[in-house]
Amino acid sequence: MSVNLASQLREGTKKSHSMAENVGFVKCFLKGVVEKNSYRKLVGNLYFVYSAMEEEMAKFKDHPILSHIYFPELNRKQSLEQDLQFYYGPNWRQEVKISSAGQAYVDRVREVAATAPELLVAHSYTRYLGDLSGGQILKKIAQNAMNLHEGGTAFYEFADIDDEKAFKNTYRQAMNDLPIDQATAERIVDEANAAFAMNMKMFNELEGNLIKAIGIMVFNSLTRRRSQGSTEVGLATSES
């Protein structure tokens, strides 16, 4: 019997989703204030996170649970490599360093894969459905805010997916059809909330650079009130 995991994840992460949207860095981003140095550090962290997640998902592509949501067309590692070359140049591999929050996120992905691989469902859901939901909106914000005419936003482009809305429906149905019980579904929801928290810590690390660039008064004016903006935040994770 289906446990409707997609619905449970949507409902069970609503609070975390709202909290993520109201992190200062994300609120500024949604309002069109993006500082290039902070943003490229975020891209660097995401590169390490997605590399770990996609490596582990590939290991478990024949797993009785994970095989149902193994869609290589979602992979972001190569797109992030393109963006890092754009922001850092050809020697980007020597330039890019993972932050402490990014490392904690990677460590958790590795730990889950080694001890309870079914929980990778939570990490896949939290990242990919958010990317698909808000990608085009965030791409335009980034292009306008950083005056990007060509390059730097490959992360938001899913070249191997023709219809993103239809794909999201396929993905949700695959999650609903997973051969899991209710106890496992609840553990996956808990892990998704943990993933939100790890994402928020990465965003919080970037606020110092952003404040230096735009000034504390501007930052405070942009973040003072609780955002009522878009719920489609691929940056902040998860779906609308």
pTM (2 d.p.)? 0.91
Q: How far apart are CA 192 and CA 171, in angstroms?
A: 16
- Identify residue 81 by its one-letter amino acid code: E
Q: Which helix (H) or strand (E) holds 68?
A: none
Q: How far apart are CA 233 and CA 240, in angstroms?
A: 8
Question: What is the residue-level pLDDT of the chain in tens, covering all 240 positions?
Answer: 578 999 999 999 999 999 998 898 998 998 898 889 999 999 999 999 999 999 999 999 999 999 999 999 999 999 999 999 999 999 999 999 999 999 999 999 999 999 999 999 999 999 999 899 888 889 999 999 999 989 999 999 999 999 999 999 999 999 999 999 999 999 999 999 999 999 999 999 998 878 887 788 887 888 876 544 433 345 555 554
Q: Say which DSSP state 126 is in.
A: I
* The predicted structure's pLDDT at residue 66: 98
Contact status, residue 21 vs residue 227, Cβ threshold 8 Å? yes
CB within 8 Å of 154: residues ≥ 6 apart: 79, 80, 82, 83, 86
Q: Say which DSSP state 90 is in.
A: T
